[in-house]
Amino acid sequence: MKATLLAGSVVLAMGCGTTTPAGQAGPPSRGQAASPAPHIPVSVPAATTPPKGPQPVKPTGDAVNVRKVPWQTARAVNKSRMIRLVWSSGVEPCTVLDRVKVKETAKTVTVTLYEGASPKAKNVACIMIAIEKTTTVKLKAPLGKRKLVDGAKH
């Protein structure tokens, strides 16, 4: 039984080697010296630095397959006359900001983000990665004590 296992292990070990690419010599036979592996240059892309903070975007108004997208943070800026929104999104052209809808009442300001794919995204492969984006919208009146509401969540 031990001899059968040993013989089977040797056969498996010999069969588990790497295959030889076409046009290259195989492994050296007994008594033959192994030739050094060829040097294959590898190109490494230059390091890219991710943007600091969210990427500013503007609505395109021409996206397809549009859907509501929740924002993560909203902050009043410019004496509360504008709202800066931040949300997680995909990369362009596969995911673009189509439009931002703002509905103001005496007690609330509802802001809804709409995203979709750019018409230019046909036959394009996009990586599945989330990035932070930001956009700023103008209000008709300062936010004041009004409650800020995410239209995608209500």
Can you tell me the distance from the alpha carbon of 71 to that of 42, in angstroms, rounded to the nearest whole number? 41
pLDDT digits (tens, 9 = 90+) for 33-72: 555 666 665 544 444 555 688 999 999 999 999 999 999 9
pTM: 0.66
What integer pLDDT is reported at residue 9 of this predicted model? 44
Residues of the chain where predicted confidence (pLDDT) is lower than 70: 1-51
Specify the pLDDT at position 126. 87
- What single DSSP character describes residue 109? E
Total count of residues recorded for the chain: 154
Residue found by looking up tokens 């592996």 in the block? 37
Residue 93, preceding peptide bond in cis (omega within 30° of 0): yes
| Separation of alpha carbons 66 and 64, rounded Å | 5
